[in-house]
Amino acid sequence: MTQRLHLVFGGELVDPGKSAFRDVEAIDIVGIFPDYASAYDAWKSKAQATVDDAHTRYFIAHLHRLRDEEKAASPTEELG
């Protein structure tokens, strides 16, 4: 069975119209979730809690899309 991991993270942006963080060291890593539904729930909770701050934004990253199990491993993966 293929895992479809999702990362939820966010923080204060330089400009609310862009995706550049003001301070990458202050990024809030909410967590890694085993499916989109649980990631969405975590994202929604954080997004609603910060709705009054236009500069704070949360995102869902589809970690499973970063890997293609059918392709050969990258040189970095082969080091491990």
* 27-78 tens-digit pLDDT: 999 999 999 999 999 999 999 999 999 999 999 999 988 776 666 655 555 4
What's the token pair of residue 78?
């082969």
Report domain extents, the chain. 6-79
> Which position has the higher pLDDT, 80 or 67?
67
**Is 3.40.50.970 the CATH number for 6-79?**
no
CA contacts within 13 A on the Cβ side of 71: 8
Q: How far is CA 55 from CA 24, 44, 50, 75, in A?
A: 14, 16, 9, 38
Alpha-carbon distance of 78 to 45, in angstroms, equals 38
Q: Does residue 21 surpass a pLDDT of 90?
A: yes
Average pLDDT score over residue span 16-33: 96
Q: Residue 77: its pLDDT value, please?
A: 52
- Per-residue confidence (pLDDT) for residue 74, from 0 to 100: 55
